[in-house]
Amino acid sequence: MLVTNITTGLDRQTKDIVKSTVPLLQERGEDITKRFYQLLFKNNPELKNIFNQTNQRKGNQSKALANAVYSAAFYIDELEKIMPQVKQIAHKHKSLNIQPEHYPIVGENLLAAIKEVLNDSADEEVLVAWEKAYSVIADVFISTEKEMYQEAEKTIGGWSGFRNFIVVDKVVESDVITSLYLEAADGEPCAIHQPGQYITVKAEIEGAPYNYLRQYSLSCAPGGGAYRISVKREDGLNGHPPGIISNYLHSDINKGSILPITAPSGYFTLDSQDTRPLVLISGGVGLTPLLSMLESTIKNQPEREIYYIHATQNGKVHAMREAIQKLDKKHDQVHTYTVYDNPTDNDNKFYDKVGYIDYNYLSTILPTNNAAFYFCGPKGFMQSIYKSLSQFEVEDKDINYEFFGPSEEIKD
């Protein structure tokens, strides 16, 4: 897609006006996107079927959207600079089956929110400029997503939208994590995913006013027939209610149940052309995309050194511990390390360190910083790993990570 052609559709004056709103967006961006979501769900309550309402309550989706709007305004002259961000968002949109007809609805409510929040600071000229700019930005998203949907449809076993899958097996992996094995209910093949990708599950719960959509990383190597997702049951800490869909998947979904899912999506994928050491670092249920990378590298790059470091509380919540240890014993290329912060008496021979993964630990166990690093886990964990990798002088180009929710700031 020629983004430069699309940007030239905006006249100089419009671009200058949009750019002049950058400081305001920096200051009031989140107020705008919070108001936008209020208006969106008031005017279009059916969109509650698509948006994760827990992310709305936590406020992290408003932040992610504010950052995207800010970047779009900042780079309105050279939209190609935000294409990596657009692609990342488009993967999430594709996984949620967002369609072109949704864009005018979002545009209308976003402009209404800009008008309301900026009030005196946004005259008619500013609103007209933003309307034009939104249309250009929306077109960039729509054409990027169109390419992705077309690609998904033409892939062998691929599809767009939701497709019914049958749960062919359910395996308890730890006190809190359970895996579901999924095969297409139509008996046809399903697309081979890239290690690190995720699918979206649609849960239609009887009596609930809306559907729920949630993403789950595929935790198996590609090409094994069934997809596997491994779900942590969220018990609801600090007075918050238990997680709706993780509990539903643990309790109400069993062998034989049908789950509608979208095709594999996501930009957090393994570069299997790279032959340098692979370093995988996970915290808690963040192990899922990394397991797919681990299994796939063993299968396809038997010469590549793999360092897999996993941190969790203790053996009770450590999923797939035995399976990973078997891989370590069987394949010389695999070196695994386990870090528990609260080990039980039964855990003695299973961990390498008590505490947390930090720079000192990484620099002791890893032979080099010239490697490909992939990590995933809770927000605090991710920020701490990023900091440790920076201390270890790992180049940013070698650092890959994914948040299990709307994108967040990696630098704490």
Ligand X SMILES: Cc1cc2nc3c(=O)[nH]c(=O)nc-3n(C[C@H](O)[C@H](O)[C@H](O)COP(=O)(O)OP(=O)(O)OC[C@H]3O[C@@H](n4cnc5c(N)ncnc54)[C@H](O)[C@@H]3O)c2cc1C
Helix or strand holding residue 386 (H, E): helix 379-391
Residue 405 sits in the site that holds ligand X (CB under 6 A)? yes
Joined tokens for residue 394: 């790992």
Binding residue for ligand HEM (CB under 6 A) from 25, 32, 106, 366? 106
- Restricted to residues 34-53, the positions that interact with ligand HEM (CB under 6 A) are 47, 50-52
Which is nearer to ligand HEM, 113 or 294 (by Cβ)?
113
The three-class DSSP label of residue 385 is helix
User: Two tokens at 49?
Assistant: 């079927």
The Cα–Cα gap between 165 and 168 comes to 9
Note if 37 is an active site residue.
Answer: no
Crossing angle of helices 60-74/12-20, nearest 10°? 140
236 makes contact with ligand X (CB under 6 A): yes
Does the annotation place 404 within a ligand binding site? yes
User: CA nearest 35: which of 145, 122, 136, 99?
Assistant: 122
CB under 5 to 8 A by kind: which of ligand X, ligand HEM, none does 106 bind?
A: ligand HEM
Q: Which of 37, 70, 134, 145 is catalytic?
A: 145
| Gap between the Cα atoms of 226 and 183, Å rounded | 5
3 binds ligand X (CB under 6 A): no
Distance CA 359, CA 75 (A): 35
Rule CB under 6 A: is residue 193 a binding residue for ligand HEM?
A: no
Instruction: Give the long-range contacts of residues 220-225, CB within 8 A, separation 24 or more.
Output: 220/291, 220/292, 220/295, 221/195, 221/292, 221/295, 221/296, 221/298, 221/299, 222/192, 222/193, 222/194, 222/195, 222/292, 222/296, 223/192, 225/183
Are 307 and 280 in contact, with CB atoms under 8 Å apart?
Answer: yes
Q: How far is the CB of 301 from ligand X (least distance, A)?
A: 23
Stretch that binds ligand X, among 7-15, 188-196, 229-237, 364-372 (CB under 6 A): 229-237
The answer to the question of residue 65 lying near ligand HEM (CB under 6 A) is: yes
Binding site, by residue number, is: 93, 198, 214-217, 284-289, 403-406
Give the binding site for ligand HEM (CB under 6 A): 47, 50-52, 55, 61, 64-65, 68-69, 89, 92-93, 96, 98, 102-103, 106, 137-138, 141, 406-407
Give the binding site for ligand X (CB under 6 A): 54, 57-58, 198, 214-217, 230-232, 234, 236, 240-246, 285, 288, 402, 404-405
Binding site for FAD, by residue number, is: 198, 214-217, 403-406
Q: What residues act catalytically? A: 103, 145
